[in-house]
Amino acid sequence: MRSKRSSRKQSGKHGLHHLRELTRNQTVNGGLWIFVGRAFFAGSALLINILLSRVLDTAAFGAYLMAFNIAFFGGVFGTLGLNQSIIRFMAEHRENGTWRRAKNTALLSLKLASIGAAGTGLLYIFLQLTLLKGVLGSELMASAALWTGLWIMLTVLQNLIAETFRGHGDVKQATLFSGVLSNFCMLVGLGLMMWLGRSSWSLQEALLLVTVCMGASCFIAGWRLLKLLQVRNWQQTNEAAMSNEPRARQLLAVSLPMMASNVALFMLTSSDIWILGVFYSESEVAIYGAAVRLMAVLNFFVVLMNTLMTSIISKYFGSAQFPKIQNYGRIIVGISTLPAIVIGAVFIVMGEQVLNLAFGTTYGSGQTILAVLSVGQLINLFAGPSGLLLTLTGNERTMLKITLITSVVTVIAAVTVVYLWGPFALAIVMVCGLFAQNGWMWVEVRRKLGISVHFNPVDLVRQLIRLAGRNKNLEQQVRIKGASYK
């Protein structure tokens, strides 16, 4: 009995030791930070929208959602794709030990992004006050043009600074400054103002709070990044590389194609708010946008799936172990999709009650839109990480072609149907575009890589049983070895 108890204690100590070693592992620790950060970002973004729907009237909330959508697009366009290319350049310089070039690349990217931020923000302010004044929204959007332009600029800077930290290998600060800190400040500000009795806000006050919170986050992030660039020992280890300083043309040659792909993806997935704002009032946009905001819950599982799959693809693609990518991929897709199916079913069956509970009784009429959009997100999960597989296996051009064609067709169809049949028809078209893109990408993954990573409940059970059997055999081997040592 004593030997059994002592062995259990020793196994418990070994288990705790392995757990500590696992959490100290840089890759695992970084993955945990990314997961927690994205979970907080998704939850806090939804909570912020719920609180704002309570303090803004329907028209002002609809205008806020359009401003958010415009700022998101401006962030994609104004960053010029540098937020993705900087990860690659910084990682290469870290591996080669060319720290001076890494510093110069980061500073040059910040300069280019600042130009892109200022140009995109000022361009939007000019267009909203002139050409778009009678097209996109009413006088409400025109009165908020300055704040929306500042939101665009801050979004660009926030995106680039956060990804520069990521390229440097600092996952913690990259996660913190990619929206987590600004959302936390927003929640504190909203809670404080509501606690003080401010139950009714104007659109300008809401956008002012956004600007202050994002400005504070960008200021702290910029200060931390500049401090990192100054403290680091930036002595060049490769003298031959000193004459080969980074140039704007080289950075943009890599970045601009990424920006084009991101713009096309935005038009495919997020242009519905714009299109609706052209033909309908802010109140209609608010009802539709409330359903879109709830999709953040289901989209979290898409982000989780892609985060887990990134490490699997990176680990096994170099050695061409495609069967392992497929097997582990189907397990990840299954685990990510199962809880999303439950939540999606709740949205489909009890959409009116969910909208009423979250945003108020005014928004319950968007139940059919919520049901359609939920089906679209579930399709996205069922199809698996096909886009990620194409991007990380050298098939970026195929991914870009698919996204461009499907986005153009979807936008044209959306503009046509929303004018004739309204928001419900718009939601159906957006889901059809998502279905076409995912189906096409799945076919290309099957054709180019010879694998298919999608949701298959039967295969999920089979893979889990096989994995459990391997773990059981491993435990038996460990016990046999332990007994032989005794």
Tens of pLDDT along 129-173?
887 766 665 677 888 889 999 999 999 999 888 888 877 777 788
User: What pLDDT is attached to residue 342?
Assistant: 92
Largest Cα–Cα separation, the chain: 85
User: What pLDDT is attached to residue 245?
Assistant: 62
What is the pTM for the complete model shown? 0.80
The CA distance from 274 to 287, in Å, is 14
Which of these, 76, 83, 134, 25, lies nearest to 270 by C-alpha position? Answer: 76
Give the tokens for residue 315.
Answer: 């680990």
Q: How far is CA 228 from CA 54, 111, 159, 221, 380, in A?
A: 41, 17, 17, 10, 39
Which of these, 227, 259, 311, 320, lies nearest to 112 by C-alpha position? Answer: 259
CB 173 within 8 A of CB 165: yes
Which of these, 300, 438, 309, 298, lies nearest to 377 by C-alpha position? Answer: 298
Q: How confident is the model over 201-222, as pLDDT tens digits? A: 888 889 999 999 999 999 999 8
The CA distance from 361 to 357, in Å, is 8
Query: What percent of the chain is predicted at pLDDT more than 90?
Result: 22
Q: Give me the amino acid identity at 136.
A: L
- Residue 169 φ/ψ region, left for φ over 0, alpha for ψ in the -120 to 50 degree band, beta for the rest: left
CB 49 within 8 A of CB 183: no
Contacts 24+ apart (CB under 8 A), 225-228: 225/106, 225/161, 225/164, 225/165, 228/165, 228/168, 228/170
Cα 17–chain centre separation: 34
The CA distance from 299 to 350, in Å, is 19
Q: How confident is the model over 441-463, as pLDDT tens digits? A: 999 999 988 888 888 777 667 76
User: What pLDDT is attached to residue 208?
Assistant: 92
Q: Collect the ranges in the chain with pLDDT lower than 50.
A: 1-2, 4, 7-23, 25-26, 234-243, 478, 483, 485
User: What pLDDT is attached to residue 93?
Assistant: 66
The CA distance from 268 to 469, in Å, is 43
Q: How confident is the model over 403-447, as pLDDT tens digits? A: 889 999 999 999 999 888 888 999 999 999 999 999 999 999 999
Q: How far is CA 263 from CA 39, 77, 165, 258, in A?
A: 25, 7, 23, 9
Residue 243 burial by Cβ neighbours in a 10 Å radius (0-12, 13-18, 19+): exposed
User: What pLDDT is attached to residue 207?
Assistant: 92
User: What pLDDT is attached to residue 239?
Assistant: 43
Tell me how crowded residue 115 is: count the other CB atoms within 10 A of its CB: 14
Q: What is the DSSP letter of 177?
A: I
Q: What is the DSSP letter of 451?
A: -
